[in-house]
Amino acid sequence: MPEKRMREAINDAIRLEMRKNPKIFLAGEDVALFGGAYGVTRGLMKEFSEARVKDTPISESAIIGLAVGAAAAGLRPIVEIMHIDFLGVCMDQLFNQAAKMRYMYGGHASIPMVLRMNTGAGFRAGAQHSQSLEAWLCHVPGLKVVYPSDSYDARGLLTAALRDNNPIVFLEDKKLYGRKGEVPDEDYTVPLGKAAIKREGKDVTVVTWAGVLHQAMAAATKLAEEGISVEVVDPRTLQPLDTDTIIKSVKKTHRLVVAHEAVRFGGFGAEIAATVAEECFDYLDAPVKRIGAPFTPIPFSPPLEDAYIPNRDKIAAVIREIVKK
């Protein structure tokens, strides 16, 4: 199976679906001529012309407003907000319009739009270009929230999202854009709302996603040398969440760690922890542990930023702590 960087896998998903469906168009800041801030949409304007790949003004409200209106009128827009940090500028268009139109019109209006945003720290981009705000999005009924961790899932999930008739937020950890992974040449989808067990184990379940998943996998490899068997579960889609797979895993291992890059307080990991506590409390042999960033803006200082992001050593230390209980 050929290997591709995650940015290439996302590009392939957009390209192949645009070839199949003339109703799909792409719009956002610098997505056309420049090919995107991180090169994800490179070459698409050349193939599909400016009529279907549009550079927009620097106005997040206008970008999401365009997508909602176009989707309601029968098109299938893909729009990009360059960084998730700019989400606050277009809250009303996304949370009050895109997310609620189908409900408010009794199912007679569909909003088949995909909003792409990059997330995450590690690029020395400062406090206003480095956040992970998935918990905001998951709290809004009417939105689906997708967060891939590798190239295979990125292409398959995005293809599924582009064929879905609901507003979908597709989050991309920019640390993973250059990471290679196996991606088949043939057409495929990864179903929305279905988690993946990335590594099987029997002593503890770690639920994690995006860049932190790879830190958890490294921790699991390290802990295997110490005789600790770690099962790593990647939700892939945070909303809807595949709680069945998570609960089944916890019932097998009897321990749970939830790890994410977002701030720990109020992070989406708290929802997973609460669900497990409610659904399979009697199976737990140790308290559920959450790992997240400290409650502070993301530092610009490289050593401080590195310390801010959960890494394999932090994850391994927490796992050792609860496995001993």
3-class secondary structure, 117 = strand
Angle between helices 6-20 and 151-162 (to 10 degrees): 30
Q: Find out whether 119 and 131 touch, Cβ atoms under 8 Å.
A: yes
Closest C-alpha to 213, from 157, 173, 272, 259 = 259
How many Å apart are CA 304 and CA 103, to the nearest integer? 44
How many Å apart are CA 180 and CA 1, to the nearest integer? 12
For the question of residue 60 being annotated catalytic, the response is yes
For the question of residue 279 being annotated catalytic, the response is no
Candidates 8, 17, 29, 60; catalytic one: 60
Candidates 8, 80, 129, 260; catalytic one: 129
How many Å apart are CA 44 and CA 101, to the nearest integer? 30
What lies within 8 Å, CB to CB, of 144 at 6+ separation is: 161, 164, 166, 167, 168, 169, 192, 237, 239, 240
Residue positions annotated with a catalytic role: 60, 129
